Chains A and B, each alone.
Chain A
Amino acid sequence: MMPEPILDIQDLRTVFRIGGRDIAAVSDLELSIAPGETVALVGESGSGKSVTSLSVMGLLPKKVGRIASGTIRFRGKSGVTNDLAQMDGESLRRIRGNDIGMVFQEPMTSLNPVYTVGEQIAEPIRIHLGRSHKQAAEDAVKLLADVGIPDPARRARQYPHELSGGMRQRATIAMALACDPALLIADEPTTALDVTIQAQILELLAKVQAERGMAMLFVTHNLGVVAEIADRVAVMYAGRIVETGPVDQVFAHPRHPYTKGLLRSVPRLGEATALKRAGTPLPTIAGSVPSLANLPQGCSFAPRCPYAIDACAVAVPALVDAGEGQLSRCIRWQEL
């Protein structure tokens, strides 16, 4: 028996109002995360990963973007479950930063340049946990130490611009952890960092996640990062999850042609030399991602799919059980 999920998204559809028309950026999205589990949302740019995480956090751009249908059931620290899709702005604000911590690609999305790092980490501790100024300031220094910032007391008194990119991302992780959230949402937290610093931040996130038993939704375009950090993965294409399952299972036996093509496109260290000698081109996926305003009939991947047959253009394939905990949105998954 799987434990009761902490986050359970059903039939989510998120739309943007563009030129008087609703364009769906996310459709038919089903995703659940168990307590202490890390789920990665992976896909190429524009596939709807950030829109999914913004929908959960209640941070869709006002007026333009909205959740058109679906439920996002989330169980907070108090044990109470709410449907985030139905909550008003004020209630969502109480959940964000308290029950749900957030880390973004660009640390300056979360950090305010005119306050010291310590003040910013202390603020949610005072607001959500009701601690005194003095206590919150001490907690902030301790959190900075927890995320591996050397000389944390001095760093707490500095402004964000005085920190390197990697240190700033550590500080936003400290801020996200301040109220001991039940769920951490990290949207491309290492994408802007150099690869040796990315390795440090991934190690840190895995450590704090394990120590706290926190659940994590990790958004990334990098399949290698998924292998490092996640238990389960959901692969998105043109607004839909096309495949999901345990990471090792999906990577060893992809059951969707898009997952398969994407995995083959990732350059493997030391393997290109043989291809080059043989005069073989690197594996690619032909064509490019379709426009959301103009999706093909049926399976959105069909125009680029080497397995496509006429039946693929009839209806959007359902996400079906492909065994071993995998689900695939491909009518030919058994032939892969």
Chain B
Amino acid sequence: MTEQPFLSVTGLTKHFKPAAFSRGPVVRAIEDVSFEVPRGKVVGLVGESGSGKTTIGRSVLRLVEPTAGTVLVDGVDMTKLSARELRQQRSRMQYIFQDPFASLSPRMTIGQILMEGLEIQGVEPRETRVARAKAALAAVELPADAFDRYAHEFSGGQRQRIGIARALALEPELIVADEPVSALDVSIQAQIINLLRDLQLRLGLTMLFISHDLAVVEYICDTVIVLYLGRIMEIAPAETLYANPRHPYTRALLSAIPEPIPGRTSQRQVLVGDIPSPANPPSGCVFRTRCPLAIEACAGAVPGLETVGTEHRSACIRNAEIAAGAIS
């Protein structure tokens, strides 16, 4: 591959310091996270709550200031930009939120909501803004009369369509979608994923798709990254991750997802204990306190992401034994 990735994250680290004069501990939200998203591809960030997904997503747009590391968007280092340059660069990206209810103003019509960003970007004249807003509504398959109505008149799924339309109207190249279907009912989740997939392919969008649910990302993602306590455990093409998961955490996560399959007496492996606090993560492999395969050496050094297959990497010191099928 010769083309440079559209998004390139290297050594990204974020430690949240306690507010001035308060005692609290430093929260190690993300540690040394590196990955790439080729132009026009979708990469999924998956992990349980507190694993650092939102912090990574927000760091990409520099909505949080990283403690260390770089974020290159189309070759431009986001962490080095002046305020003006940052505004310019950010106009190429959009963030879609989980909660379609909280993110839409109740006092504005859908048309006003869709045109607000265009006005801030200085899109003139008004007719152009109206046309782009209406095109965005059509793209998310909402009726044209939605333009003059208010958010409360729409269902959860429709509001998420409005959230997507608002992002699309700005013609972004990169979209960070942060749990965009987590608040929706299952039949509506599939509608929204189909829509996002369709738009992404049609418009050639580059996307970072965040979800706590491994089952939801398979269809839309080209590559999936599994996070635990702020670190990447495994990264693989979607089809590989589900067919041949390597990391003990990925395997546990897949096994924990209940499926409505008749007669399936769950041979599931239930992880013991709680997720440790990111203020005080375990030494060595952060997963070792719950890992069914942990050995003494796991408490030593942090395991590196090793290549275990084609574009497939896993951070476990027992990779070789797992690959040989000696342990599972």
A and B co-occur in one complex: yes
- Which residue numbers of A lie inside 8 Å of B, CB to CB? 44-45, 164, 166-167, 194-200, 202-203, 221-228, 247-249, 251-252, 261-263, 265-273, 275-276, 281-285, 288-289
Contact with A along B187-199 (1 / 0, CB 8 A): 1111101100110
When the two chains form their complex, are residues B187 and A195 in contact, meaning their CB atoms are under 8 A apart?
no
Whether B191 contacts A284 by the Cβ 8 Å rule is yes
| A195 contacts B257, C-beta separation under 8 Å | yes
Most B CB atoms within 10 A — which of A252, A261, A268, A272? Answer: A272
B interface residues (Cβ-Cβ under 8 A, vs A) = 48-49, 155-158, 185-191, 193-194, 197-198, 212-216, 218-219, 238-239, 242-243, 252-254, 256-264, 266, 268, 270-272, 274-275, 290
- A272 contacts B219, CB within 8 Å? yes
Contact residue among B155, B261, B263 (Cβ-Cβ distance under 8 Å from A289):
B155
Question: Is A203 touching B155 in the complex (CB atoms < 8 A)?
Answer: no
CA distance A194 to B219 in the complex (A): 21
Contact present for A195 and B238 (CB under 8 Å): no
Minimum Cβ distance to chain A for residue B239 (Å) = 4
Chain A contacts of B218 at CB under 8 A? 267, 269-273
Closest to A247 in B: B262
In whole angstroms, what is the CA distance A203 to B268 when docked?
10
A161 to chain B minimum Cβ distance, whole angstroms, is: 14
Task: Report whether B191 and A276 are in contact in the complex, using a CB–CB cutoff of 8 Å.
Answer: no
Give 10 closest A-B pairs by Cβ, nearest first. Answer: A224-B258, A272-B219, A285-B187, A223-B260, A272-B218, A194-B48, A44-B185, A252-B262, A282-B190, A284-B190
Tell whether A225 pairs with B258 under 8 Å between CB atoms, given A196-B252, A199-B268: yes
Query: What is the bound-complex CA distance between A166 and B256, given in angstroms?
Result: 15
Chain B residues contacting A273 (CB-CB under 8 Å) are: 218, 238-239, 242-243
The answer to whether B194 touches A164, judged by C-beta atoms less than 8 angstroms apart, is no
26 CB < 8 A contacts A-B: A44-B187, A195-B257, A196-B253, A196-B256, A199-B256, A223-B186, A224-B257, A224-B259, A227-B259, A227-B261, A227-B262, A248-B262, A261-B187, A262-B187, A263-B260, A265-B189, A266-B186, A267-B219, A268-B215, A268-B261, A269-B214, A272-B219, A273-B218, A276-B219, A281-B197, A288-B155
Residues in chain A near residue B187, CB distance under 8 A: 44, 261-262, 265, 284-285
Interface centre among A164, A194, A262, by most chain B C-beta atoms within 10 angstroms, is A194
* In contact, B264 and A270 (Cβ under 8 angstroms): no
Chain B residues within 8 Å of A267, by CB:
190, 215-216, 218-219
**Closest CB-CB distance, B291 to chain A, in whole Å?**
12
Find out whether the CB atom of A270 lies under 8 angstroms from the CB atom of B243. Answer: yes
Q: Is the CB of B260 within 8 A of A199?
A: no
B260 neighbours in A (Cβ, 8 Å): 223-224, 226-227, 251, 263, 266
Least CB separation from B194: chain A residue: A281
Q: Give the nearest-CB partner of B154 in chain A.
A: A288
Return chain B residues, CB-CB under 8 Å to A198. 256, 258
B257: chain A residues at CB < 8 Å are: 195, 224, 269
Task: Tell whether, in the assembled complex, residue B186 and residue A269 are in contact, meaning their CB atoms are under 8 Å apart.
Answer: no
A102 to B244, CA, bound (A): 41
Is there an interface contact between B258 and A227, defined as CB atoms closer than 8 Å? Answer: yes
Residue on A nearest B48 in the bound complex, by CB? A194
Interchain CA distance A282-B192 in the complex, whole Å: 10
Out of A45, A224, A266, A282, name the residue touching B194 (CB < 8 Å): A282
Complex-state Cα separation, A252 to B261, whole angstroms:
8
Separation in Å of the A194 CB from the closest CB of chain B? 4
Closest to B198 in A: A281
Inter-chain CA distance A324–B113, complex, in Å, is 52
- Which B-chain residue is minimally distant from A288 (CB atoms)? B155
Contact B274 A269 (CB under 8 A): no
Q: Which residue in B198, B215, B259, B270 is a CB contact (below 8 Å) of A199?
A: B270
> Across the interface, which residues of B come within 8 angstroms of A284, CB to CB?
187-188, 190-191, 194
A199-B270, A248-B262 known, 11 other contacts, Cβ within 8 Å:
A44-B186, A195-B253, A195-B256, A196-B252, A197-B274, A199-B258, A228-B266, A263-B260, A268-B261, A273-B239, A275-B219
Chain B residues positioned under 8 Å from A225 (CB to CB): 258
Of all chain B residues, which has the CB nearest A195?
B256
A199 touches B271 (CB 8 A): yes
Q: Which residues of chain B are near A266, meaning CB under 8 Å?
A: 186, 215, 259-260
Which of B191, B214, B258, B263 is A202 in contact with, Cβ under 8 Å? B258
**A45 CA / B185 CA spacing, docked (Å):** 7
- A256 to chain B minimum Cβ distance, whole angstroms, is 14
Q: Which residues of A contact B274 (CB under 8 A)?
A: 164, 166-167, 197
